[in-house]
């Protein structure tokens, strides 16, 4: 099976999880396409000044694979920079946030696997 780019739904989410601005989420797979132990497979674009607010994951792990731009990730031990090729891993019981302070768009793929 091939899912074509034009079949992927794009959502504009204002203040996602309490974050600033608009998160652009392109659903690579919808809930009907995913395996039973997964919840999300999407590509996000955050323009300058936009972010996804801090949120906790329970009984799941979220992975952000940074494609382009520079993300500021907030974790329990403070803020860190995530660059292209980096993977941000947030496991069960952990929380995180991500934002873009740069002129270049921050683009990353997010995958959530149920534990």
Question: Is residue 43 situated within a structural domain?
Answer: yes
- What CATH number is associated with residue 31? 2.60.120.10
The alpha carbon of 86 is separated from its chain's Cα centroid by a whole number of angstroms, namely 13
Residue 55 counted as domain residue: yes
- 67: containing domain: 7-114
Is 91 within the bounds of a domain?
yes
d(CA 18, CA 111): 20
Average pLDDT over residues 14-39: 95
For position 1, what pLDDT does the model report? 87
Total domains in the chain come to 1
Give the Cα separation of 56 and 30 in Å (integer): 22
pLDDT tens per residue, range 2-20 = 999 999 999 999 999 999 9
Is 1 contained in some domain? no
Q: Is residue 2 part of a domain?
A: no
Asked if 73 contacts 14 with a C-beta cutoff of 8 angstroms, the reply is no
Instruction: Please check whether residue 79 lies inside any domain of the structure.
Output: yes
């Amino acid at each position: 099976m091939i899912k074509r780019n034009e079949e992927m739904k794009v959502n504009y989410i204002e203040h996602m999880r309490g974050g600033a601005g608009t998160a652009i989420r392109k659903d690579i797979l919808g809930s009907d396409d995913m395996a039973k132990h997964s919840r999300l497979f999407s590509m996000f674009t955050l323009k300058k000044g936009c972010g996804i607010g801090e949120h906790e994951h329970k009984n799941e792990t979220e992975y952000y694979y940074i494609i382009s731009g520079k993300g500021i990730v907030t974790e329990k031990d403070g803020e860190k920079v995530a660059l292209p090729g980096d993977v941000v891993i947030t496991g069960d019981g952990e929380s995180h946030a991500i934002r873009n302070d740069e002129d270049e768009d921050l683009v990353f793929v997010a995958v959530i696997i149920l534990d």
